[in-house]
Homo-oligomer: A and B are copies of this chain.
Amino acid sequence: MKRKARPGSATSAPHPVEPTVVLSPSEQLRPLSENELDVLEQIGSHWAEVLRRDGGSLPAPPIDPAPGRYAKPVLPSRLGRFARVRMSKREAPEEAVAVGPAGPPRSRLGGALHTARRLMTGPPLRSSAVMEERMRKIVALPVLASDLLSSVAYGPQAMLTVLALGGSVALALSLPISVALIVLMVAVGTSYRQTIRAYPSGAGSYLVASDNLGPRAGLAAGAGLLTDYVLTVSVSIAAGIQAITSAIPSLAPYTVELGVLAIAILLAGNLRGVRQAGYLFAAPTYAFLVAMFALIGFGLAKSGAHGFAVTPPPAQTATEAVTLFLIVRAFASGATSMTGIEAVSNALPVMRPVEWRNGRTVLTVMVGLLVFLFAGLMILFHLGGIMPQAGETMLSQLARRTFGGGPAYAYVQITTALILLLAANTAFSDFPRLLFFMARDYYAPRLFLRMGDRLGFSNGIIVLAVAAASVFAVLGGRTEALIPLYAVGVFLAFTLSQAGMVVHWWRRRTEGWRRSMAINGLGATLSAVVALAAAVTKFTEGAWIVVFGIPLAVLVCLRIRRHYDLVGRALALHTLPSSARGRRFVPSPEAWGRPSQARRPAVGQEQEESPEEIDHLAVVAIARMDLASLHALAYAASLGQPVLAVHISPDADEATDFRRQWQRFGDPLPLEIVDSPYRAIVAPLVHYLEALHAHPAEVTLTVLLPEIVSRHLWTQVLHNQVAGRLRRALRPLPGVVVTTVPFHVRD
């Protein structure tokens, strides 16, 4: 397994380094291509001509847009939160800068919520506070190993639970299966060592599989890992709670509540951002290792004192025949002991240089520890005749047997629970990061690119917490119900990642590629066998959810990508045919109804239009002649564009009344009344506007909706919700712009 250090490869990676991933808040904005910039320039020069800005056809802003010159204290409104903006004086005298984070709204409820949020997450951090914390090996090991090592708290038990179904005969197979699992651990570990060498800047399964096997394989690995992270949280919390309820059985009925509470605490901690506490996180892992070493040492010593006599386990009644199926199922369940082995390859950027070398060392130590713990526990379970039983974990039984019920026993249980909590916590940094990578490639909603107040990807954190808590609650926090879902996704990701490495070595053929390819090939094959075994043998127990879920997730990701590509193309700047330029539709009553010669954009899609090409009609929807309506009418009339008032009347008498009022008003603007004998308001108005819009003259309709705004949320329900409904109904209409003219009521 040891590779000779070659000259020149000590400080630099053996292959071209991928650029280190920069997590920047501007990642959310797609940059403009050089071609688009050219088009922008062309469009701009046309606009300049049209607008003759200096000549003066468009008036200059009536007020100075730089607020610094007259800034006076502005108080936040009752409902809104805002961040203070000041002119930045030194760097860019013309630029405004938000000098603080968003403050609380002035309403009492809003303020309380704001305070609660601040207390939970702390004050927002500036983008410039993003920093890469590099970890020494002694710190990296416990932080990265927690997920892997904590798996021995449930993996062996999951395996023996299956075997017990076959009765005492099947139990005799536990040691051979354990040996097979240890071979698997070493093989996969070695395989990941190769990956680390090839991808020194971080080698998540999603990246490696995408890079070498194409986007579909990458997405499958990504989807597998996402389910894995959700289940890591659920399973680890479930096992942690089990460690506690094994010691204190009276807490058992509150398993679901305790689990959801634990997830809520992890959520709060991660929203706050616990990265800086990395050193603190080292403690539970070392404490757990101490507990395990003590347990295995004392246990073996105690057993040695009795000449390693095997206590026969309580007689098991076989409920299933000992078939190959049962054995494979037990093997697949036991394989959950090695979940988390991929942690180092994901986290290389947080290692100190030389990252890949340190990473390999950490990985080797981790796998060594895993093999030791797994083997030690399996031997002790065998010697002690310990079997899975309801209400107490096997680890708890072993500890109780070895140490009695005293403080040493309590120490084992507490450290087990702590490392499991820590393992769940690692998923809270991996899951959002993976979603970030997927969103950056347009395979996941862009909102996962957004950095929260504390520079974490809060959207991903929240999604993980909700998903894990739901899975946990639905399955009642029972580890045995969660395990079948677990293995498939993990080993699928392992398989794809290592198969990707095989392709990688095949393509590059750098020095020693044959050996690396062979190692990765073995790892991929073994992982594939486990994934397949898990999918088949646990299909009916819940694995079907993952088996069908992952392809579905891949499809959804591809659809998301397709949508973003489509939007990207639709939004990309491109030149218009020159024939479209210079047209101007001159409205005249005679021209009504005659088709215009002008270019007509495809229905359903706006094209870039030059300002002079837009003909306006402002349509003001009026229910009754009150100040709010007059305000909207005045606003419309003051724009200097043609105005049309529309009234939807529920019956003929009301229509007559309204027309009379309008005449009394002096008929200053054209009015159209639409009778609506079925009392609907939105539907006839929408059709009327569509009918207007069907006119060939291609007019942009600006629909103005007077809206009463009151200061309290509860009073909003007292007013007609028509404005909101109209806005939603008018949204899909091309060429219709909706403007809400608020009328504020002080209440």
- Count contacts on A: residues with CB < 8 A to the other chain: 186
Min CB distance, A581 to chain B, in Å? 13
Min CB distance, A568 to chain B, in Å? 9
Q: A609 and B637: CB pair below 8 A?
A: no
Also in contact, A593 and B69, with CB within 8 A (given A625-B32, A643-B58): yes
Within 8 A of B (CB), among A540-568: 560, 563-564, 566-567
- Type the 1/0 row for A579-592, where 1 means its CB is closer than 8 Å to any CB of B: 00000010101001
Residues of chain B within 8 A of A727, CB atoms compared: 740
Task: Point out the residue from B48, B69, B627 that lies within 8 Å of A571, measured CB to CB.
Answer: B627
Also in contact, A609 and B631, with CB within 8 A (given A41-B666, A709-B731): yes
Nearest neighbor of A701 in chain B, beta-carbon distance: B63
Task: Point out the residue from B40, B450, B644, B668 that lies within 8 Å of A625, measured CB to CB.
Answer: B40
A241 CA to B720 CA, complexed, in Å = 39
Is A630 close to B, CB under 8 A? yes
Task: Point out the residue from B61, B646, B650, B669 that lies within 8 Å of A644, measured CB to CB.
Answer: B61
Also in contact, A651 and B81, with CB within 8 A (given A25-B679, A566-B745, A747-B567): no
A522 CA to B629 CA, complexed, in Å = 53
Q: B71 and A691: CB pair below 8 A?
A: yes
Residues of chain B within 8 A of A691, CB atoms compared: 67, 71, 74, 85
Min CB distance, A733 to chain B, in Å? 6
Also in contact, A80 and B642, with CB within 8 A (given A61-B587, A715-B563): no
Also in contact, A664 and B96, with CB within 8 A (given A637-B47, A684-B82, A737-B739): no
Q: B604 and A566: CB pair below 8 A?
A: no
Q: A85 and B668: CB pair below 8 A?
A: no
A69 CA to B691 CA, complexed, in Å = 10
Also in contact, A84 and B687, with CB within 8 A (given A567-B747, A624-B29, A651-B26): yes
Is A257 close to B, CB under 8 A? no
Q: A680 and B608: CB pair below 8 A?
A: no
Q: B44 and A674: CB pair below 8 A?
A: no
Residues of chain B within 8 A of A680, CB atoms compared: 83, 98, 101-102, 124
Residues of chain B within 8 A of A640, CB atoms compared: 57-58, 639-641
Q: B126 and A677: CB pair below 8 A?
A: yes
Is A127 close to B, CB under 8 A? yes
Is A318 close to B, CB under 8 A? no
Within 8 A of B (CB), among A711-725: 711, 715, 717-721
Also in contact, A679 and B58, with CB within 8 A (given A593-B69, A611-B638, A612-B638): no
Q: A677 and B29: CB pair below 8 A?
A: no
Q: B74 and A604: CB pair below 8 A?
A: no
Please tell me how many copies of the chain the complex holds. 2
Within 8 A of B (CB), among A49-73: 51, 53, 57-67, 69-72
Q: B96 and A674: CB pair below 8 A?
A: yes
Is A14 close to B, CB under 8 A? no
Is A734 close to B, CB under 8 A? yes
Interface contacts beyond A36-B625, A640-B640: sample of 15 additional A-B pairs, CB < 8 Å, sorted by A: A28-B720, A63-B592, A63-B692, A63-B697, A67-B688, A67-B692, A79-B731, A82-B686, A83-B684, A96-B672, A97-B676, A127-B650, A445-B718, A446-B720, A447-B720
Q: A41 and B664: CB pair below 8 A?
A: yes
Also in contact, A630 and B43, with CB within 8 A (given A606-B744, A744-B605): yes
List 8 A-B pairs, minimum CB-CB distance, nearest first. A62-B587, A44-B666, A102-B683, A611-B637, A98-B684, A67-B691, A571-B626, A614-B638
Is A503 close to B, CB under 8 A? no
Q: A32 and B661: CB pair below 8 A?
A: yes
Nearest neighbor of A709 in chain B, beta-carbon distance: B731
Q: A692 and B65: CB pair below 8 A?
A: yes
Q: A677 and B98: CB pair below 8 A?
A: yes
Is A695 close to B, CB under 8 A? yes
- Type the 1/0 row for A662-676, where 1 means its CB is closer than 8 Å to any CB of B: 001111111011111
Also in contact, A665 and B40, with CB within 8 A (given A80-B686, A560-B718): yes
Also in contact, A47 and B687, with CB within 8 A (given A446-B720, A607-B627, A651-B26): no
Q: B654 and A26: CB pair below 8 A?
A: yes
Residues of chain B within 8 A of A668, CB atoms compared: 44, 47-48, 51, 53
Min CB distance, A619 to chain B, in Å? 9
Min CB distance, A69 to chain B, in Å? 6
Also in contact, A25 and B651, with CB within 8 A (given A63-B692, A98-B680, A677-B97): yes
Residues of chain B within 8 A of A649, CB atoms compared: 26
Task: Point out the residue from B58, B446, B674, B690 that lies within 8 Å of A97, measured CB to CB.
Answer: B674
Nearest neighbor of A734 in chain B, beta-carbon distance: B744
Is A17 close to B, CB under 8 A? no
Q: B61 and A670: CB pair below 8 A?
A: yes
Residues of chain B within 8 A of A676, CB atoms compared: 83, 97-98
A677 CA to B98 CA, complexed, in Å = 7
Is A303 close to B, CB under 8 A? no
Min CB distance, A329 to chain B, in Å? 37
A626 CA to B567 CA, complexed, in Å = 11
Nearest neighbor of A729 in chain B, beta-carbon distance: B80
Is A280 close to B, CB under 8 A? no
- Type the 1/0 row for A18-34, where 1 means its CB is closer than 8 Å to any CB of B: 00000011101111100
Min CB distance, A123 to chain B, in Å? 9
Also in contact, A626 and B572, with CB within 8 A (given A95-B673, A661-B32, A683-B81): yes
Interface centre among A63, A77, A640, A739 (most CB of B within 10 A): A63
